[in-house]
Structure 1
Amino acid sequence: MKRKLPLAETSGMAIKNLKSNKFRSLLTMLGIVIGNASVITLVGVGRGAQNLAENQLSNLGANVLFVVPGNNDTRRRGVAFPKNLVLKDAKAIKEQVPTVKRVAPQISSNEVIQTGSKSTSSSISGVTSDFLIVRSFEIAKGRFINNQDTKGAKNVVVIGPDLEEKLFKNREGLGERIRIKDQSFEIVGVMKPKGAVFGNNQDENAYIPLSTMVSRITGKDPTYGVSLSFISVEAINEKSTKAAKFQITNLLRQRHKIIRDDDFAVRSQKDALQIVSTITGGLTLMLAAIGGISLLVGGIGIMNIMLVSVSERTEEIGLRKALGARRLDISTQFLIESLILSSLGGIAGTGLGLTTVKVVALLTPLPATIGLGTVFITVIISGTIGLTFGVLPAKRAAKLDPITALRSL
């Protein structure tokens, strides 16, 4: 006569069987361990990349706009940017746009900097005194470029802390002289650390008066005059950035006599954050999918081992059925075994993944992180995979004919 076995008894039998095959059980769990660890690590790294980009962009300022030459089409095709964004445009924006507080035109060029026997390549930017406030930079030593430096086109330079370290090692750079092209410049200031933006280390840059940049480094464009690399614009406040963007666009379209496509673009921190979030979000999703494939492979491994286990335990299953065990009892035992393997593997993989995420955050610039929600979902998925891939072996075990199974004894 068949009788219903208590769940506790069925679970005990499942645990006993797994203990009797410890090595095989560990190997079976390994796929789930690797899968869980992969998902958590890859998602953590993806979020770290997103956090890093967002942290860098936040340094730009919430109410700062960037006017750059060229439109989206030229940027996508890699066409050389036009030189028609000029100093007069920056002056017009400052004078005619009511929602704008400050304007910082900039010309940038990569040049070789020399001091004594040492030399290095660095980004040199010609700027005005407003650059420091608009871009939220700070001075660590000395001073920044002032209006007198710009009016007199003086040969003075302010350098980043990393550039100071490169050129002078443990010596003080303030007051020393460096050569840019064939010109000698006096270092009047050293910046506080600012960090990198889009792979450009701002702490290795150097800044000279915009007028000096034009007269001694880059020269004027014969067609457009003083061509700018871009213009940084500080709106009155964060709420006025949208209006400022609209007004700047209209003003430059009128000045450049544009009828169709713009030959410039106005970008805000919000625009950049949206683009970065889209890219890094897609990257994180892709990494999670790669980790998910590892979990799927782990589930297939559980199913394979459980099917082998069914074949090996034919006699046991036949004997239990002959003694009154029901199909449900047999299938439940195999499902419990699958669930235990996948759950333990999920917990171990989660621990490994969290440890890896912490190591990545400590040893790399990526602020890798993972939310508790993601961890919980990953563990649930691993358990679900165990149940799902344990169904086929459980059904096969439950359908075994006890007479046929007992004949093999």
Structure 2
Amino acid sequence: MASKLPLTETVGMALNTLRANRLRSLLTMLGIVIGNASVITLVGVGRGAQNLAEDQLSNLGANVLFVVPGNNDTRRRGVAFPKTLVLEDAEAIAEQVPSVKRVAPQISTSAVVQAGSRSSSSSVNGVTPAFLPVRSFEVARGRFISEQDERAARSVVVIGPDLRDKLFPTGQAIGQNLRIKDQSFNVIGVMAPKGAVFGNNQDENAYIPLSTMVSRLTGRDATYGVSLSFISVEAKNEASTGPAKFQITNLLRQRHRILRDDDFAVRSQKDALTIVGTITGGLTLMLAAIGGVSLLVGGIGIMNIMLVSVSERTEEIGLRKALGARSSDVLSQFLVESLVLATLGGIVGTAAGLGTVAAVAALTPLPATIGGGVVLITVTLSGSIGLFFGVVPARRAAQLDPIVALRSL
């Protein structure tokens, strides 16, 4: 009985066969290369999107809660938010909720801001002086809205750096006048860069006193009074955000005379991070699944090419068996060929994917990244796919009858 062929010799024969058919081997590897590159790239981009969202949310402040009008049903259906939050709600939260440090009511509206012949569409926000510390914003030049500005309803405005560049590209902005809805405002400050939050560029915003917003731009609702877009609430510390959320909810339910089906929602940064993590995690899994389909297609390609190879090498297989090679030796050789093709394809595809992720991180605002565990999993998975899809052609080669095979010589 013939002795078993050493593994090193089996590997050597497999490599020699692949080298003898370089072009076919490269084309066979192509599906695995594309599949691995797709998985690495899509997972890296998905994680980058999650990191970007988390970075933007971290700018909101760890202790900040947002009270917004409308219930979950209206938000799901895209219905316009009802006017359920009023200025008195913000005042009650500040006075009656012990876990709260500061409250910043806000009214936001879109408007065209003009300065001379230049204009830009902007989000105009009516705020109080508490907005700056609650939202962790900073002023780069000039000053922010003061208590005196708020009490006197002065026509003053603080603008974001991008809005400043659009309206005053060559000159000093502070001290200049601009117009919002045909109302004149004096620029008293320029905000420090803040970046985008959920697609809204904070650096293009304009900020005016809340009292001025009500008296000159939006007016009072005849039924509700001063309706707010939302209320930013700063808890005393991070541990107080839970109690503050509970206390605010109960207080507003009492004020609005409701027991359930709240006409408002209280959201924390942690809630937003959980939602974002769930969404981006699901998207990342979906993208990885799409890349996984490419890997499966690559595995099927390997199986097809190896089946063709078995047909073309029938004489070789028959001659080896006639000279004493065992079926297990033939099986091992074809499995090794499939494994080498898939593993090399996985390594090349992983390198291409890592290069793409690095390019995305360098050339776009998306902080795309990939962990070493994902790299290891994808390379291992590609090798496993090679073994799995190589079983059928390897078994066919191993089961060939040497007498039948030699008849084709």
Match of 1:140 in 2: 140
Rounded Cα–Cα distance in structure 1 between residues aligned with 2:170 and 2:241 = 43
Measured against aligned partners, the alpha-carbon deviations of 1:323-355 in whole angstroms (never above 9, x if no partner) come to 000000000000000011011000000100000
1:159-308, aligned counterparts within 5 Å?
A: 159-308=159-308
Question: Is 1:352 aligned to 2:369, yes or no?
Answer: no
Give TM-score, length-normalised by structure 2: 0.99
What is the match of residue 76 of structure 1? Answer: 76
Shift of 1:289: 0.1
1:80 & 1:319 partners in 2: Cα distance?
A: 79
Q: Secondary structure of the equivalent of 1:169?
A: coil
Structure 1 consecutive aligned stretches of length 4 or more whose deviation exceeds 4 Å: none
Q: Does 1:335 align with 2:339?
A: no
Question: Partners in 1 of 2:233 and 2:25 — Cα distance?
Answer: 63
Total equivalences in the alignment: 409
Q: Which amino acid aligns with 1:84?
A: T
Query: In terms of mean alpha carbon deviation, does 319-328 or 83-92 score higher?
Result: 83-92
Match for 2:123: what amino acid?
A: S
Q: Deviations over 1:184-233 (max 9, x none)?
A: 11110000010111110000000000000000000001100000000000
Q: Does 2:389 correspond to 1:385?
A: no
Match of 1:372 in 2: 372
Corresponding residue for residue 154 of structure 1: 154
CA distance in 2, matches of 1:150, 1:8: 83
In the TM superposition, what is the alpha-carbon distance from 1:95 to its structure 2 partner?
Answer: 0.5
Superposed CA deviations along residues 38-78 of structure 1, whole A, max 9, x for unmatched, are 00000000001100100000001111000011010111112
Counterpart in 2 of 1:318? Answer: 318
Partner Cα separation in structure 2 for residue 190 and residue 173 of structure 1:
8
**Quick one: distance in 2 between partners of 1:365 and 1:82?**
35
* Structure 2 letter corresponding to 1:353: G
1:44 corresponds to: 44
The amino acid that maps onto 1:368 is A
Q: Which residue of 2 aligns with 1:394?
A: 394
Secondary structure, aligned partner of 1:105: strand
1:112 aligns with 2:117: no
Residue 304 of structure 1 and its aligned partner are, at CA, apart by 0.4
In the aligned structure 2, how far is the partner of 1:174 from the partner of 1:386? 67
- SS of the equivalent of 2:80 reads coil
Letter in 2 for 1:296: L
Once the two structures are overlaid, the 10-residue window that deviates more, 251-260 or 13-22, is 251-260
Deviation, 1:103, is: 0.3
Structure 1 residue 171 displacement after superposition? 2.5
Q: Gaps spanning 5+ residues in structure 1: where?
A: none
Match of 1:57?
A: 57
Alignment of structure 1 residues 22-41 onto 2, 5 Å:
22-41=22-41
Q: Deviations over 1:212-263 (max 9, x none)?
A: 0000000001100000000000000000000000000111000111133111
Of 76-85 and 23-32, deviating more is: 76-85
Q: 1:133 is aligned with what amino acid? A: P
SS class of match (1:400): coil
Shift of residue 176 of structure 1?
1.1
Structure 2 residue aligned with 1:98: 98
* Inter-partner Cα distance in structure 2 for 1:30 and 1:171: 57
Could you tell me how far 1:322 is from its partner in structure 2? 0.2
Identity of aligned residues (%): 78
Aligned match of 1:13: 13
SS in 1 for 2:189: strand
How much has 1:3 moved relative to structure 2? 2.5
Counterpart CA distance in 1 for 2:289 and 2:181 is 51
After TM superposition, give the deviation of residue 181 of structure 1 in Å.
Answer: 0.9
Matches of 1:170 and 1:278 in 2, distance apart?
45
- 1:84 Cα deviation after fit: 2.3
TM-score normalized by the length of structure 1: 0.99
1:365 shift after superposition: 1.4
Structure 1: distance between partners of 2:170 and 2:21: 63
Q: Which amino acid aligns with 1:316?
A: E
Pairwise CA RMSD of aligned residues?
A: 0.7
